[in-house]
Structure 1
Amino acid sequence: MAKALENSEIRYRRLFESAQDGIFILNTATGRINEVNPSLLDILGYSREELVEKKLGEVDAFEDFEARRESFPDLEKKAFVHYKNLKLKTKSGRPIQVDFVCNAYQISDEKILQCNVRDIRDRKAKESALLARENARLSMMENQETHGLLIEKLPVGIIVHAADTRIVSCNPEASQLLGIPADQVLGKMADDPDWNFVREDGTPMPVGEYPCNRVAATGQVLKNFIMGIGSGKGCKCLLVNAYPEFDNSGSLRQIVVMLTDIGDIKGAEEKIRLHVEHLTALVEIDRAINFSFDLNLSLTTLLTHVLVQLGVDAADVLLFNPQSRTLDFVAGRGFHTKTIEQARQPLGEGYAGRAAQDRSVVHIPDLAKEHDKFLRKGFLAAENFVSYHGVPLIAKGKVLGVLEIFDRSRLVRDDEWLYFLKAMAAQAAIAIDNVTLFDNLQRSNTELFNAYDATIEGWSRALELRDNETEGHSQRVALLTVRMARLFGLNDAELVQVRWGALLHDIGKMGVPDKILQKKESLTEAEWAVMKQHTVFAYKMLSPIRYLRAALDIPYAHHEKWDGSGYPLGLKGEQIPLLARIFSVVDVWDALRSDRRYRSSWSVEKVRRHLLSLAGTHFDPHVVKVGLDSDLFVD
């Protein structure tokens, strides 16, 4: 409540400060001015300090107003007094003509008088000029015999009210707009209950807001006032301009009201509004299509807009299946039952099949008179559909499906509606085509990835065939290396390269002669030199293959040692790639845990102690610790 009061005070202060009328607040008990706004200071030429806390009698500007204070008791009854054509003086002594509106109200124990001061010099000058011109015009027209004929032929309605608002003249156009014969219009008063005036929004218009009554009350011209007459579809939208005419003594003589039918203009505005809504809907649908490859989401968004923008009761999309050559239900909105979800129509049969095969819109205005076995009577009875539209979904010259529209009442659809329906169908076709392309691309990428993976596994198996003792070694170390690399925060895409590098860690041995690779005796120094070249062979074999470059660290550097004594480059410490450091530990683990022709496999504890003993010389100590602390190096 306090917040609302505070907001109300802020709004009042802003209105007070920004009002074009001059305003001063008077304490009626003390006769002193409590507050003034900037507009009053501009009108009178005083500063705020020269007015606030002054009595009216102490300010020369208010001498004439002070003399009229005998009417203040009226405020006790009305709480409102309007002074017209009051004389004030500016600080410089220049007289000005103003209107005063005084409102009395109570705040706590203090009675307050708020006075609004409106400078009417410009208005009076304009009114005088307007009156002079109008009198001259009337004088001229009264001397012309064609005056009456001109009014009769005008394409706008003209109604002339006497000073008491009684209608004294009405041309045929006005009679037609009012829907009342001219002889029945004459003599009616502006507040006659027969008038069926409504506001622009269609709500009933109070008598006080009638154009003639407003002009009579204010004495001011009414410009470009929009209202309606009638109700429902028969309501006419009118643009009203009205002005008062005064005699030489300043008394109201008559009020002229001009009525213009702007129904066509409002209709055009409505069409523009609908067109903008349609464009906005198409933009939203386009955004949904472009930012999502979820066909169901894209089509659900589209069908929602179809129901709202086209004003239909239900809609669905049937997708064309090239293999079965049928149209199958994929998405729908607005249906009471789920029967439509079983829709499966052969191409060329039924409404949808015909729309797809002929590539044209199928419109059935009365489903009760048509026969389509795919829209069974049971389905129609449950849904109460009476009309149907089927629009083919075509993208890049191919029929992708059909957009179906159902109505439960008979409505007349214009060309604009049909054009927008086709635009919606085009958007649906784009959505389906985009998702199809994306799915095909994903499928191709998956197939290509699987081919790469199968090729790499084939290479690793081919290498193992040269040495039966290492059978399964590549698969085991690949799996364990991936698990260990995950502990170091590598993502899925990086882990793919880790697996490939582990599978191909000994691919370079393809370049080592069999007599060395399969030799049972110890290798000579020269033979060891050749054997050590297998890491270089691996680099030369894999580096030209672009998609395997990220997997090179393991085949090329897994024989480097932490203390720099390894090969082929003699890298030391963290100069060795992390993946090579991880793999070297895993490789030794699997080798020692496997049987060889020259030794049996080691126990888990013995291998763990061995790895720990080589931490800091052969292996990265941190990698060894992570491996031993995890559950990887156990049975």
Structure 2
Amino acid sequence: MKNSITVERNLNTKEGKQVTVEVNISKLDNDFLLGIAHDITEIKESEEQKLKRLHLLKTLYNANQKFSESLNLEKVAYEVTRTCVEDLGASLAWIGHAEANGKVTVLYQYPTEHPYTKNLNVRWDDTPEGQGPTGVAIRTGIPQVIEDITTNQRFEPWRMKAVTEAGFITSAAFPLATRGRTFGALNIYSDKKGFFDAENVQLFQTFAHQAAAALENANLYEKSTRRLQHIQALRKVDMAIAGSIDLRVISNVALQETIRELNVDAAAIFRLNPYMQKLEFIAAYGFYTNIIEEISLSLEKSFAGRAVLERKTIYIPDIERENEDMPKDLFRVEGFKAYYAVPLIAKGHVLGVLEVFMRNPHIVNDEWRDFLETLAGQIAIAMDNAELFHNLQQSNLELLKAYDETIEALSYALDLRDKETEGHSIRVTELTLSIAKEMGIPEEKLIHIKRGALLHDIGKLGIPDSILLKPGKLSDEEWEIMKIHPVYAYKMLSQIEYLRPALDIPYCHHERWDGSGYPRGLKEKEIPLAARIFAIVDVFDALSNDRPYRKAWPIEKVLEYIREQSGKHFDPQIVDVFIHLVEKKFVSRLGD
């Protein structure tokens, strides 16, 4: 056989079944042709299945990649629904979110302009509108497939819209669930009969699992972002409270944040006059007119009064239907449709009411209501603080004074234990502060330097007396133990939030400019500035005062030693400042 060719042909069997055969035709030596045919139908079908699965896996992979590129809920929802239609062959896809009130809201759909979901009434509770595929999928967590929309009774409420207007034949709903909680459903529609075969159902179910994780992550991110915005709004109110005792100033800030964060149209604050049993105007924001400023509300005959008496939030979804005595001119002129009244309660006492007005009511969730009540709580605190501000400020000053006196007493006790000369800690603290001021260190940092200087040797509380008070030279082993005392200081003070900013000196004042110090071997500007200043002061005080084991050095000798250690033990720049300051202000006093 010299030449051969191979061809594939689709043939029909006598039973009418189409098969694919591979024919190999060879020319024999005697010019005869030899043809051999193989039925490769199963092989071709297997290859087609593999290619299809490969395409679907690629589609799932690409979708997952797209999901990971964004934490914007709308963008993720768009990509989920677009993939269902453009890549997986559906006619329409929409994501339904299960609301706490039993309603299913349309989060997103593709194609975005498709009219089917407009005014769509779908629920997930046990109502007739909750018996369709979406509601059942959410309730049970099991995919629901409607093979034929035209005949399935469960689709009755939406059949006309789906079949006549949209031309759908079949539909399915796949639960969206993460961490054991179903939060919605992915709803798919097709105009092709048999679209939801077993393979497609498995495919969409897998895709729904991916989509649920991506949607939940985006939702959590957006919730976190909103909460951060809420925290920032509360922070602004806190800053207003801390920065002013003028209730109107604080109220204006709070009202602006209320309107911005809650997306409402107007808000007002009224203060309770317990003697007149009236609510009196304090501040308002978002109103077209000044009518609100002239209003005084009765406790017995107003929504706000009801909020005070019942000590709970009052919600009026449709003001026009209410017959209760209220400022109707205000609502008519301003065009308000819905209303909230939240009592302002501080320390168990109702101080007033926060009113919120909406011209175009919208659905709110528990998070929205919680934030409204949190803002009301902040406003109540502001009201209370306006009266108590002076007492609180005085108490804070007394508390800080008590803290610092305690630190000074502890510093004195440390001097006594270490047998330092009397007043050592006070002297080094004063001199350290003088240098810090000379170097232009901001006033707000000086208090932390002062506390750090007073507590510079607090870590020695962890050193045994046998080592700390040893009259002779320490052994190598004892010296290694002694060198741990800055670490003890760090462990002690870092547990106290009030003293954390003062850690630099107790932790680092034994570090040396050339890196030969302890406990971490820091060098040059790796050493905190406060510790570099204190290192010079501590050595100066130690050498210029009598100790049990030696007499004080003359001031000139001490200064010469400090000059000699510049660039070795000490920061050269600080040495210059120190020498100048000591020669200018302290030599005569310290030499006496």
Do both share a fold (TM > 0.5)? no
Question: Which band: TM-score by shorter chain?
Answer: 0.3 to 0.5
- Structure number, greater radius of gyration: 1
Q: Normalised by the size of structure 2, how large is the TM-score?
A: 0.40
Which fold has the larger relative contact order, with Cα–Cα distance below 8 Å and residues 6 or more apart in sequence? 2
Using the size of structure 1 for normalisation, the TM-score is: 0.38
